[in-house]
Every structure is written in C-alpha cells, then in structure tokens.
Chain A
C-alpha cells in the first residue's frame, strides 16, 4: 500500500541488541495497556529469569524505558509504569529546534492555528469544571504579573487549560507539544526589556486572557475567536 510513495527499497539489516528486544517487549505491553500507569514491573532478578538474559542487558533496557519516560525507577523500590502523556513531546520539539531540524517560526505557526482552533472549540464544549480550572490559572497569573518568568509559565498553562476545555484529545496532544516549545521564543523576546515594559505587557496580556476566558465561559464562539485573534496579533503575545 505504501509502495507507490515509498518505493520498494531493501533496508539495511541491523542486528537487534538484546537490550533493544527487551525494551520493545516491555514497551509494547505498556502501549497496549496490558501494563498500566502505576503498575510495578517485576524486579530485576525476575526479569532476568523471565527473559533468560544477563543483568546488564535487562538494566540497559530499563534505562532506555526510563529515558523515554515510560517508567520511573526509584532506588530500592523498583520500576513503576508512568502514565502515557504528551508531555514529553514538547521536549523533543525543543530539541528539534536546537538541532535546527525546524525553526521557532514554524513552531509558532503551528501554535497559532492550534490555538485558534482550540479557542473556537472550547467556547462550544467547555464545562463548569473547565471554567473553574481556567479561572484558577488566571488568578495565579494575575498574582504572578510582577515576575515575568512565573507569569510566562502561568500564561502557557492557561493556554493548555483552554486546550483541555476543547475536549478534543488529538488537539490537546498537539497543543501540549507546541505550547511549551515556544517558551524560549518569549524568553528571548522579553529578557532584554525594562521591567516597566514587561510589567505593562503582562498586565495587557492578563486583561486579554481574562476577556477571552469570559467569552469562552459565555459560550460566545465568535467573540472568543475575535478576541483571541487580536491577542495573537500582538507582537509579544503570550
């Protein structure tokens, strides 16, 4: 089915390392849901016996699983399965920017469109619980106005709460990937400025977020989108 696009090249045959095979087996079980968040993996000794492989191989596999955030290994108490979440994606996207595989401008472009879409959807799908969480982050943002780094974090958090309120799992996944990856962009843009400028900027940003949240709360799709567009068109939008 892929042939007409991918051609039919033969791929290099790479022998798999034992640790890789163990890694993939455990990863499969986590992805399929057979192993759930909070489940404890068998002990190292048990894994050695089950896989019939050496301790170093089993350990390597566990470290690989940990570096990809599938499990957490606490000293002395073994490995616990993590909740699968899209949180790790923004780190990878950040790496891609650092490796110049993509640019911050491209990240911003994706974020803009995703944000437009989620504001639109949040205004029609939000629940009372969503609004409570949005208002809570807004208030924390208000208190953080004097401290721009903290305000920045709260502002990004506000965006993700709106993504949650859109009630679209895939949209949230992508929002979670792009929102935090734009953090450096703002840090770069804001860090050179006078304190007075940043304070003013944070106040305006807060006012706009507040207005967007109200429109979402009222279910006014058009107004929410319009306010959000104005907000996104500011040169230092957060």
Chain B
C-alpha cells in the first residue's frame, strides 16, 4: 500500500498566461533574451505556445507591469530592464499606504546617511556640486517650514547620489516624490531653520573641498539638529 500512496502526486495547475509569463520572465532574467531585443509578435507567440490571443495578451500585460518589456503603440514588445522603475513605484506605494510621515523619513535619513556617505566624498563630481548648489539656493530662499522641508529632502537626495549606489538613490528619490502627498507640520522654528541653512551651506563647502572628516562632522551636526526638532 505504501508505494501506491506515493504513486500519485498532488498536481498544481498554473494558469496558461502565468506559465507563459514565467517562461518569458526566466528567459529575460537569465539574459537569453537581452535588453533591446524584440519579442515575437502576438500572433507568433500564439503559434509557439499553442495558446489563445487572450492568453498571450494577458502574459504580455503582466510582463509589462513588471517592467520586463515595453510595448509600443503598434503592439510590438521589446525587452527592457525596468525593475528599478517598478521598485521605485512600489516603494512610493508603500510609503503612501503605510502613511509614512515626514518625520519618519527625516529620522531614517539622520540614522543612516552619514554612514552611507563615509568614504564617498572623494567621488563628488562637478554635476553633483551644481545640483547641491541649486538645492542650497532653494533652501536659502525657503521661508516656510514646508518649503524648507522640500529643500531639505532635495538636498539629501542629491547628496546620496555621490555614493553612486542606485538602491540608495531610488529610496531617496521615493522620499522626494512622497513629499508631494504628505502634510508637513511646521515644527521647525525660524532659528532652527537658519541654523540648518548655515550647516548645509558649510557642508556644501566641505564637500567641494573633498574634506571628508569635516563633511561627516557637519552631517552629524545636521542630524543632531533635526533629531532635536523631532523629539519635541
């Protein structure tokens, strides 16, 4: 009897569109289908897989939603690597759905940023400097806590760029986009605001001089300033 028990295994069925999706996904992730390469047409795929037009279309839409392919208006699909875009969208979804607030973001930045920046100051490029200068200009002209908060996030997004770490940039970029949808309570007073502007501008200078220890010292000072605001 024992043997007979094992003779038949439970069967898991997968929807046809899911199976087609998974197969093409596998081909893309293993680079058998490369970026920029065209997929066969819908009609050809129907013949290859012996599946209906509807099934093929569903699979293509799923691949598109996951950022594996781009479909042009004529319906031709090209392989693209857009997991970063999807990741950014997902992060933003999570920030919005989780009702992550401005002070949660600031806390996260204060907790982690100086450790990410360590060792990166030498990498700062001319473009980075210009971007930081522009943020600085914006921060200097900010008159309300909300404008200041916006400038703060933009500055730190451009700061994290010097790490050349794509993951960090995506995270910080999603913080920036999230700012458009959240309410910022004006907890920072004008004295703290001008202190923040002063520290950020000194940080800009230290970064341009590629002075790592001074940059880190200032970053930590900025974190402390914001942490004290958050704790109120």
Q: Cβ of A56: which chain B residues have Cβ within 8 Å of it?
A: 54, 57
Number of A-B contacts (CB under 8 A): 124
For residues 1 through 52 of chain B, which have their beta carbon under 8 Å from a beta carbon of chain A?
13, 15, 17, 21, 29, 31, 35
Check B62–A67 contact: CB distance below 8 A.
Answer: yes
Nearest to A20 among chain B residues (CB) is: B61
**Interface size range on A against B:** 35 or more
Q: Which residues of A contact B93 (CB under 8 A)?
A: 31, 84
Query: How many residues of chain B have a CB within 8 Å of chain A?
Result: 52
Chain A interface mostly helix, strand, loop or mixed? helix
Within 8 A of A (CB), among B169-195: 171, 180
Of all A-B residue pairs in the complex, the 5 with the closest CB atoms, nearest first, are A99-B81, A95-B83, A67-B62, A64-B65, A92-B87
Which of A63, A68, A178 makes the CB contact (< 8 A) with B58?
A: A63
The answer to whether B98 touches A169, judged by C-beta atoms less than 8 angstroms apart, is: yes
- CB 8 Å contact bits of A93-123 with B (1 = contact, 0 = none): 1011011111000110110011011000100
In the complex, which residue of chain B has the Cβ closest to the Cβ of A55? B54
B105 touches A59 (CB 8 A): no
Interface readout for B92-131 with A: 1 if CB under 8 Å, 0 if not? 0111111010001101100110011000000000000001
Residues of A within 8 A of B73 (CB): 14-15
A180 to B105, CA, bound (A): 23
Please report B residues at the A interface, Cβ cutoff 8 Å. Answer: 13, 15, 17, 21, 29, 31, 35, 54, 57-59, 61-62, 64-66, 73, 81, 83-84, 86-87, 90-91, 93-98, 100, 104-105, 107-108, 111-112, 115-116, 131, 134-135, 138, 150, 154, 158, 165-168, 171, 180
> In the complex where A95-B29, A101-B166, A106-B166 touch, is A173 in contact with B98 (Cβ < 8 A)?
yes
Chain A, Cβ-Cβ closest to B175 = A170
B112 & A169 in contact (Cβ 8 Å cutoff): no
11 other contacts beyond A93-B87, A100-B81, A110-B165, with CB at 8 A cut-off? A4-B138, A23-B65, A60-B58, A60-B61, A63-B58, A86-B94, A106-B166, A117-B112, A170-B100, A170-B105, A171-B111
Taken together as a complex, chains A and B put the C-alpha atoms of A124 and B131 apart, in Å, by 37
Q: Smallest CB-CB separation from A19: which chain B residue?
A: B61
CB-nearest residue of chain A relative to B92? Answer: A31
- Closest Cβ of chain B to A238, distance in Å, is 20
Contacts of B87 in A (CB 8 A): 89, 92-93, 96
Report yes or no: B111 in contact with A117, Cβ–Cβ below 8 A: yes
